């Protein structure tokens, strides 16, 4: 098999061990195989692939298999009814949908230049350049020694001085992908059709982690749901969560249908909490378009995910911190205490990043700028979290609630890597969304 764009690496084996342990697998029978494989030089990819297969046959310990199902019917059995709320005023709905699109774009861009920064770089650069705490798009107006100290370059990256439109980003590519999947295949689209769309419309090098693995599996005729588990240590990482938003936009006021759409999309590349992350985000985005309060939005997200899942329990802890009166900084410290940003697993997992999004939404207090800055300043996957928090809040407060300082740099223009949407107007995307709803 040609591996020029895909290789199994020792890092993937390390991530697989962390992943399997977290989902409750009994790894004792494979301990020696893990250890010997990681010690072997040169690294043996074929042996590693066999290890990945063996992990999938390991039994679970405790009740996690029951508490964290991946099939839709079992997940639905946990759903809490009562969160559907329609909005009859079309002009208000249009304003909110535009707000969701624009809110996603602005939040995504805010976190794009600092994607990959860990806390020492985030705090060091922002403090050294007079931008701490974060309160606007990140500027490259800083002393040269500051760039050198943190390995940054003023002439590379998405500094605010270097853009006139929203540049391509995978987070936004997937929002457009959701729109096109529904447009091409209808509202009864299947996971297999999502996979088909990817192969025809998304270049493989624009995919990462779980999405790159799934793409590789499609090419090798491994289709959903097996495509989510075959050689995929990233099956609970953030990739599905960032693909959720349009499924919420397409179902304003109906978090359950939005979550089901999210499941159909997520199940091609993710399992368990990786799936729940997309369902949770889709539900919140749907609820935000018609809700009267942020509390309603947050509870709609909880309503569609299994209550004893690691995601639900972690997010309930965040709600508890907020109710207890903790500060934003204290909440961020607790997230970092639970998740190690220095590892790919901790930095890019669904749960760690969902916690950051919820912290931003709760502590942001319906202030758009504060919310996306809180989502980004906390580190982890900054562009993803800025986009998700910005989308949810933008949908709740509408486009009129997003200050011009955040929207004006893009001149209403969005660039994507999705075929047919190379350069489009953000307002046009909102209008097309309204047409699909109507």
- Domain at 72-111+166-437: CATH code: 1.10.4080.10
pLDDT digits (tens, 9 = 90+) for 57-115: 999 998 988 999 999 999 999 999 999 999 989 999 999 999 999 999 999 999 999 99
Confidence category of residue 1, pLDDT binned at 50, 70, 90: very low
Q: Residue 435 and residue 148: Cα distance in Å, rounded? A: 49
pLDDT digits (tens, 9 = 90+) for 173-198: 999 999 999 999 999 999 999 999 99
pLDDT digits (tens, 9 = 90+) for 274-322: 999 999 999 999 999 999 999 999 999 999 999 999 999 999 999 999 9
pLDDT digits (tens, 9 = 90+) for 34-49: 999 999 999 999 999 9
pLDDT score for 216: 96
pLDDT score for 2: 45
Q: What does pLDDT average to over the chain?
A: 97
**How large is the average pLDDT for residues 138-148?**
97
Q: 110-147 as b/e, with b when 16 or more CB fall inside 10 Å?
A: bbbbbbebeeebbeebbebbebeebeebbebebeeebb
**How large is the average pLDDT for residues 186-211?**
95
Q: Are 129 and 150 in contact (CB under 8 A)?
A: no
pLDDT score for 203: 86
What is the residue extent of each domain of the chain?
Answer: 10-62, 72-111+166-437
Confidence category of residue 245, pLDDT binned at 50, 70, 90: very high
Q: How many C-beta neighbours within 10 Å does residue 94 have?
A: 18
pLDDT digits (tens, 9 = 90+) for 16-40: 999 999 999 999 999 999 999 999 9
Is 270's pLDDT higher than 60? yes
| DSSP state string for 28-61 | GGGHHHHHHHHH-SS--HHHHHHHHHHHTTSPB-
**How large is the average pLDDT for residues 199-223?**
94
Is 237's pLDDT higher than 60? yes
pTM for this prediction: 0.97
pLDDT score for 4: 66
Burial class (CB in 10 A: 0-12, 13-18, 19+), 44: middle
Q: Measuring CA to CA, which residue among 354, 342, 428 is closest to residue 389? A: 354
């Amino acid at each position: 098999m040609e591996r020029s764009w895909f290789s199994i690496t020792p890092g993937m084996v390390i991530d697989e061990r962390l992943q399997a342990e977290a989902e409750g697998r009994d790894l004792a029978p494979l301990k020696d195989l893990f250890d010997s494989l990681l010690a072997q030089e040169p690294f043996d990819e074929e042996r590693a692939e066999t290890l990945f297969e063996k992990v999938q046959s390991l039994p679970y310990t405790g009740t996690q298999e029951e508490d964290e199902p991946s099939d839709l019917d079992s997940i639905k059995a946990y759903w809490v009814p009562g969160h559907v709320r329609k909005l009859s005023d079309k002009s208000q709905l249009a304003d909110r949908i535009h707000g969701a699109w624009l809110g996603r774009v602005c939040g995504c861009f805010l976190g794009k230049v600092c994607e990959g920064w860990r806390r020492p770089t985030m705090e060091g650069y922002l403090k050294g350049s007079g931008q701490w705490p974060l309160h606007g798009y990140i500027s490259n107006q800083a002393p040269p020694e500051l760039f050198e100290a943190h390995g940054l370059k003023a002439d590379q990256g998405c500094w605010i001085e270097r853009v006139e439109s929203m540049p391509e980003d995978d987070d936004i590519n997937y929002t457009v992908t959701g729109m096109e999947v529904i447009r091409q295949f209808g509202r009864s689209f299947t996971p297999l059709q999502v996979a088909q769309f990817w192969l025809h419309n998304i270049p493989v090098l624009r995919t990462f982690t779980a999405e790159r693995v799934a793409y590789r599996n499609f090419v090798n005729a491994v289709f959903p749901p097996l495509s989510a588990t075959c050689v995929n240590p990233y099956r609970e990482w953030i990739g599905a969560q960032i693909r959720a938003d349009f499924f919420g936009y397409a179902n304003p006021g109906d978090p359950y249908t939005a979550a089901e759409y999210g499941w159909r999309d997520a199940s091609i590349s993710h399992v368990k909490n990786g799936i729940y992350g997309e369902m949770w985000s889709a539900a919140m985005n749907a609820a935000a378009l018609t809700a009267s309060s942020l509390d309603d939005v947050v509870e709609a997200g909880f309503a569609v995910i299994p209550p004893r899942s690691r995601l639900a329990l972690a997010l309930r802890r965040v709600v508890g911190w907020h109710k207890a009166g903790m500060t934003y900084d204290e909440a961020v410290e607790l997230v970092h205490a639970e998740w190690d940003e220095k590892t790919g697993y901790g930095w890019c997992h669904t749960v760690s990043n969902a916690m950051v999004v919820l912290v931003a939404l709760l502590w942001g207090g319906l202030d758009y700028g504060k919310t996306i800055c809180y989502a980004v300043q906390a580190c982890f996957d900054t562009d993803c979290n800025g986009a998700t928090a910005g989308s949810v809040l933008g949908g709740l407060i509408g486009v009129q609630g997003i200050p011009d300082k955040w929207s004006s740099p893009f001149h209403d223009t969005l660039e994507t890597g999705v075929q047919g949407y190379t350069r489009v107007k953000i307002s046009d995307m909102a209008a097309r969304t309204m047409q699909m709803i109507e």
